[in-house]
Amino acid sequence: MIPASAPVPVSFEDRMATVDFRVAADAHITVDGDACRGCSTRACVTACPANLFVPMADGGILFNYEQCFECGTCYLVCDTAGAITWRYPEGGHGVAFRRS
């Protein structure tokens, strides 16, 4: 009893829309654009599972904290000292998994 239906591609936006986030007023991650401009690896851009790091034309990184899984991948793969400052969001805020 295997349906022949092909998998429906899910856009990244729809993928993230399946997750509950209670967005805090303050960002819990800060990215130092100056430090990023000297970085050639930019591992955070592809490694972040929530795709929160966007490379900019000027060599900096645009970061959005609202849909963060709070996993810690970004600061661990970052090899530029001081580029990413990471802490937990304010209590009660951030990701709230329901079916994990």
Q: Identify which of 59, 65, 54 has the alpha carbon closest to the alpha carbon of residue 21.
A: 65
Site string for other proteins, 8-37 (x = CB under 8 A): --x-x-xxx-xx--x---------------
Residue 92 CB, nearest approach to other proteins (Å): 3
Task: Report residue 15 as tokens.
Answer: 């993928």
Beta bridge partners of 21: 95
Please report, as residue ranges, which positions from 60 to 89 form the binding site for other proteins (by CB under 8 A): 69-73, 76-77, 87-89
- Distance (Å, whole) CA 75 – CA 43: 10
53 forms part of the interface with other proteins (CB under 8 A) = no
98 forms part of the interface with other proteins (CB under 8 A) = yes
Residues that bind other proteins in the complex, under the rule CB under 8 A: 1-5, 7, 10, 12, 14-16, 18-19, 22, 41, 43, 46-47, 49-51, 69-73, 76-77, 87-92, 94-100
